[in-house]
C-alpha cells in the first residue's frame, strides 16, 4: 500500500478546523455525486479544496478496492469495534495516516438528509437539531469508550480514533482556506473569492485637486456620435487594473458549467478574454459579486471615458499622436493587426504589456474593445451628466447594441481615440471587458 503524493495529514488538519456538520455535508455530497460547486455553496468551502478532498477520496477507494478481502475485513471490523488505529495498522500493514483518513469517511454518524429537501430553512434546521443530537451522543459514546479503555487494557499503545466532536456551531460555516489576497501598491486591492482564489486587481480612482471629478466627455472634432461634448461629474470608484483575462474568466466559466470561450490561438492565461457577449460580461460580474459579497459591475460609458482619459484632454492619454509604444493596435488604415515597435503582437497581447495611463490602468486603449453597461445612443443629446448609466426606456429592445470603448488589436489609430465609440450586439475576437466597483 503506497500513500505517496497523498497528504492525508494536511487534509486531516484542514478537516480538524471544520465543524462536524460541515464534514458530514461534504462527505454526503461527495458520495451522492453532488456537483462540487453546490457543495461549495452549501458549506462555504473553497471548490479547489473540495476538489482535492474528492481526489483523495477516489484514490483511497481505489486503493481499498485493491486490497485483498481479508485485509479489508480486518480494517472494517477493526474500525467498527473501535480498535486503536495503531493496532489495525500493525495487523494489516497499512499506514496509520491512511487508516485515519478512512476512519473519517467511514465513521460519520449523521443520517444524511435528501439534497432535494435541502432548502436553506430545512437544511439549517436539520443541521442545528442534528448537531445537538450528535453532541449528546458523542458525549455518551466518548464517556463509554473512555471508561471501557480504562477498565479493560489492550495490548500496545491506547489510541481513540480521533473523530472530532467540537461544540455545535449555529452559524453558517465560513471559508477557512481563503488565500491572502492583499497586494502592494498605492490604491490597489484585491478581494478574496469564496472559492478560495483572488479577484481581479482593482485600482481606486479618487478625484483629487490635481485630477478633478469632472471632465469633458466627447470630442468636438470627432465623429457625430461623440457630440455634443458635455461636462460630466464622476464620483470615486475602483476599476479593474487590467482587462479581464482568460484565466479569470475561465474560473467563472468552470464554476458555472459554461463553455470556455475560444482564444483562436491568440493566447489564453493572462491574455484578455475574447469572444464574450455583453450578457457574458454581465454574468461574470454577477458571479464575481456573489464570490466577493460586493457589487461588481461593468462601468458606465461616462465612467469608462473618465478613467481612460485620466485627466488628459488629448486624443490618446499619452498625447495626440498614435504610437505602438503605448498600446497594442493595428495597421494605419483599416483593418488588421500589426507588429511595430514595443507592440510585439499581431493579435491580443498579455494584459499589462504597455505602460499604464495616469490612473494606473492598463490597455484602456487597444488590445480588446471593452463592453460598458450603456446601450448605444447615436449622439450625446440628453446624456446624463452625473456619470450614471444612460439607460433606454426599454432595455429589452436593444436595437443599436451595447457600447464598446477603447479599440482593439485589429483597429487603426483613428478608431483608437479615447472619445471614439462603437457598438455591437454579440461580441467577437477583439472584444472583452473590465469591471468596476464602489469602495
Ligand atoms: Ca498590435
Ligand atoms: Ca482595451
- Give the number of the ligand closest to the Cα of residue 243: 2
Task: Give 400 Cα–ligand 1 centroid separation in angstroms.
Answer: 28
**Reading across the β-sheet that carries 188-189, which strands appear in turn?**
188-189, 202-205, 237-240, 436-437
Please list all protein residues whose beta carbon sits less than 5 angstroms from ligand 1, which is an ion. Answer: 328, 338, 343, 345, 409
Q: What is the mean pLDDT of residues 225-253?
A: 97
CA distances to 217, 269, 365, 368, 403 from 312, in Å:
11, 32, 13, 21, 22
Task: Give 366 Cα–ligand 1 centroid separation in angstroms.
Answer: 8
> How far is it, in rounded angstroms, from Cα 31 to Cα 39?
11
Task: Give 200 Cα–ligand 2 centroid separation in angstroms.
Answer: 15
Task: Give 93 Cα–ligand 2 centroid separation in angstroms.
Answer: 61
The predicted structure's pLDDT at residue 66:
75
Q: Greater confidence, 262 or 175?
A: 262
- Give the number of the ligand closest to the Cα of residue 366: 2
Does residue 186 register a pLDDT over 60? yes
Question: Is pTM, for the whole model, over 0.75?
Answer: no
Task: Give 129 Cα–ligand 2 centroid separation in angstroms.
Answer: 53
Task: Give 370 Cα–ligand 2 centroid separation in angstroms.
Answer: 6
- With cut-offs at 50, 70 and 90, classify the pLDDT of residue 29: confident
Report helix, strand or coil for 51: helix
CA atoms within 13 A on the CB side of 387: 15
Task: Give 338 Cα–ligand 1 centroid separation in angstroms.
Answer: 4
Q: What is the mean pLDDT of residues 199-226?
A: 94
Does residue 229 register a pLDDT over 50? yes
Query: Which pLDDT tens digit goes with each residue over 63-74?
Result: 777 777 777 777
Does residue 403 register a pLDDT over 90? yes
Place of cell 451595447: 402
For 333, left (φ over 0), alpha (ψ -120 to 50), or beta? beta
Does residue 396 register a pLDDT over 60? no
CB-based burial label for 129 (10 Å; 0-12, 13-18, 19+): exposed
> How far is it, in rounded angstroms, from Cα 3 to Cα 6?
6
The predicted structure's pLDDT at residue 185:
92
* Residue ranges with strand state E in 24-82: none
For the chain, list the domains and their CATH numbers.
8-155 (no CATH), 178-439 (3.90.1580.10)
Estimate to the nearest angstrom the gap between the alpha carbon of 10 and the chain centroid. Answer: 24
- Answer for the pair 238, 436: CB distance below 8 angstroms, yes or no: yes
- How is residue 358 written as a grid cell? 495616469
Does residue 167 register a pLDDT over 50? no
Task: Give 66 Cα–ligand 1 centroid separation in angstroms.
Answer: 56
Q: Greater confidence, 75 or 137?
A: 75
Return the DSSP state at 299. P
CA distances to 94, 150, 312, 342 from 319, in Å:
71, 84, 8, 17
Give φ, ψ of 202 to 5 degrees. -110, 145
Task: Give 405 Cα–ligand 1 centroid separation in angstroms.
Answer: 17
- Answer for the pair 434, 367: CB distance below 8 angstroms, yes or no: no
Task: Give 346 Cα–ligand 1 centroid separation in angstroms.
Answer: 5
Does residue 171 register a pLDDT over 70? no
Which residues are CB-neighbours of 144 under 8 A, at least 6 positions away? Answer: none
Task: Give 294 Cα–ligand 1 centroid separation in angstroms.
Answer: 35
- With cut-offs at 50, 70 and 90, classify the pLDDT of residue 324: very high
The predicted structure's pLDDT at residue 315:
98
- Answer for the pair 88, 78: CB distance below 8 angstroms, yes or no: yes
> How far is it, in rounded angstroms, from Cα 378 to Cα 227?
9
Amino acid at each position: 500500500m503506497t500513500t505517496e503524493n497523498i497528504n492525508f495529514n494536511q487534509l486531516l488538519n484542514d478537516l480538524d478546523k471544520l465543524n462536524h456538520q460541515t464534514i458530514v455535508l461534504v462527505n454526503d455530497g461527495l458520495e451522492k455525486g453532488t456537483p462540487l460547486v453546490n457543495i461549495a455553496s452549501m458549506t462555504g468551502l473553497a471548490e479547489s479544496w473540495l476538489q482535492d478532498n474528492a481526489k483523495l477520496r477516489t484514490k483511497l477507494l481505489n486503493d481499498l478496492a485493491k486490497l485483498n478481502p481479508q485485509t479489508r475485513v480486518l480494517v472494517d471490523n477493526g474500525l467498527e469495534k473501535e480498535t486503536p488505529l495503531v493496532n489495525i495498522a500493525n495487523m494489516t500493514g497499512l499506514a496509520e495516516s491512511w487508516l485515519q483518513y478512512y476512519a473519517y469517511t467511514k465513521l460519520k454518524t449523521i443520517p444524511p438528509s435528501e439534497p432535494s429537501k435541502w432548502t436553506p430553512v430545512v437544511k439549517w434546521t436539520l443541521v442545528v437539531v442534528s448537531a445537538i443530537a450528535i453532541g449528546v451522543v458523542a458525549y455518551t459514546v466518548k464517556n463509554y469508550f473512555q471508561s471501557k479503555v480504562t477498565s479493560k487494557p489492550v495490548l500496545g499503545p491506547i489510541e481513540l480514533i480521533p473523530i472530532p466532536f467540537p461544540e455545535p456551531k449555529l452559524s453558517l460555516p465560513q471559508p477557512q482556506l481563503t488565500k491572502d489576497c492583499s497586494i502592494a501598491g498605492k490604491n490597489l486591492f484585491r478581494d478574496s473569492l469564496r472559492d478560495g482564489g483572488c479577484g481581479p486587481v482593482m485600482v481606486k480612482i479618487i478625484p483629487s485637486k490635481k485630477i478633478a471629478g469632472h471632465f469633458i466627455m466627447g470630442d468636438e472634432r470627432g465623429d457625430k456620435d461623440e457630440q455634443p461634448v458635455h461636462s460630466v461629474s464622476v464620483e470615486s470608484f475602483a476599476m479593474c487594473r487590467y482587462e479581464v483575462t482568460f484565466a479569470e474568466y475561465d474560473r467563472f466559466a468552470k464554476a458555472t458549467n459554461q463553455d470556455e470561450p475560444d482564444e483562436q490561438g491568440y493566447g489564453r492565461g493572462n491574455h484578455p478574454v475574447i469572444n464574450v457577449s455583453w450578457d457574458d460580461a454581465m454574468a461574470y460580474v454577477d458571479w464575481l459579486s456573489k464570490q466577493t459579497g460586493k457589487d461588481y459591475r461593468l462601468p458606465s460609458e461616462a465612467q469608462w471615458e473618465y478613467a481612460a482619459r485620466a485627466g488628459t484632454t488629448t486624443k490618446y492619454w499619452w498625447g495626440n499622436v498614435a504610437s505602438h509604444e503605448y498600446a497594442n493596435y493595428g495597421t494605419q488604415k483599416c483593418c488588421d493587426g500589426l507588429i511595430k515597435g514595443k507592440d510585439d503582437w499581431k493579435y491580443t497581447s498579455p494584459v499589462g504589456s504597455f505602460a499604464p495611463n495616469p490612473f494606473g490602468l492598463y490597455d484602456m486603449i487597444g488590445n480588446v474593445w471593452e463592453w460598458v453597461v450603456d446601450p448605444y445612443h447615436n449622439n450625446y443629446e440628453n446624456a446624463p451628466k452625473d456619470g450614471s448609466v444612460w439607460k433606454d426606456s426599454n432595455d429589452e429592445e436593444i436595437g443599436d447594441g451595447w457600447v464598446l470603448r477603447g479599440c482593439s488589436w485589429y483597429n487603426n489609430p483613428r478608431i483608437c481615440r479615447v472619445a471614439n465609440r462603437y457598438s455591437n450586439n454579440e461580441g467577437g475576437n477583439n472584444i472583452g471587458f473590465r469591471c468596476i466597483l464602489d469602495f
